[in-house]
């Protein structure tokens, strides 16, 4: 089923000029970049976006980091895009990420792990609406 998901290229990857290389991985895997923009989140934006993690010990550091410099937000579209994006991203901790995944290739650490991706279709809709009002599934 063709579906949409939200991807964010995090500050560490934007700062290292990896936007093109990351998009290339999506496009080589039949994912279409349906929408894209480069934005600087403020701390409140990041807290709202990551509100599911508000009780986790890393919440403050995560929101601080995600609002530290520009990110690139994208709506990805394709067959099973939610799961496919998660597969292409690799595990949260780059030490555990499978070879050839985005996090295996580019991530610096557990927090500076280069990309965000929605973890379910339900959350994809919530996250897409956060940045691109009209594009939810
Ligand atoms: P994912 O990004 O793979 O969906 P989570 O949703 O669990 O992972 O966590 C969101 C983000 O918070 C991660 O991408 C990572 O940057 C950060 N994070 C997760 N767990 C930790 C942790 N134990 N310590 C520090 N940062 C973490
Ligand atoms: Mg997550």
Using a cut of 0.85, tell me whether the model's pTM lies above it.
Answer: yes
- Please identify, by atom number, the ligand 1 atom nearest to the C-alpha of residue 50: 10
Q: Which residue out of 116, 118, 127, 128 is catalytically annotated?
A: 116
Residue 78 Cα to ligand 1 middle (Å): 25
Q: Which ligand places an atom closest to the C-alpha of 116? A: 1
pLDDT digits (tens, 9 = 90+) for 48-61: 999 999 999 999 99
Find out whether 136 and 129 touch, Cβ atoms under 8 Å: yes
Q: Which residue bears the tokens 């279409």?
A: 32
Q: Which helix (H) or strand (E) holds 14?
A: helix 11-15
pLDDT tens, 24-46? 999 999 999 999 999 999 999 99
Q: Report whether pLDDT(136) > 90.
A: no
Using only C-alpha atoms, the chain has a radius of gyration, in whole angstroms, of 14
pLDDT for position 2: 96
Centre of ligand 1 to C-alpha 112, Å, is 9
């Amino acid at each position: 089923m063709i579906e949409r998901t939200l991807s964010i290229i995090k500050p560490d990857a934007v700062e290292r000029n990896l936007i093109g290389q990351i998009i290339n991985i999506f496009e080589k895997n039949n994912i279409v970049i349906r929408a894209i923009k480069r934005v600087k989140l403020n701390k409140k934006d990041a807290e709202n976006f990551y509100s599911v993690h508000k009780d986790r010990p890393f919440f403050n550091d995560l929101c601080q980091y995600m609002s530290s410099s520009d990110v690139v937000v994208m709506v990805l579209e394709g067959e099973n895009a939610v799961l496919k994006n998660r597969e292409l991203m690799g595990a949260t901790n780059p030490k555990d990420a499978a070879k050839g995944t985005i996090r295996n290739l580019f991530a610096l650490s557990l927090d500076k792990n280069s990309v965000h991706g929605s973890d379910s279709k339900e959350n994809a809709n919530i996250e897409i609406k956060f940045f691109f009002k009209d594009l939810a599934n």
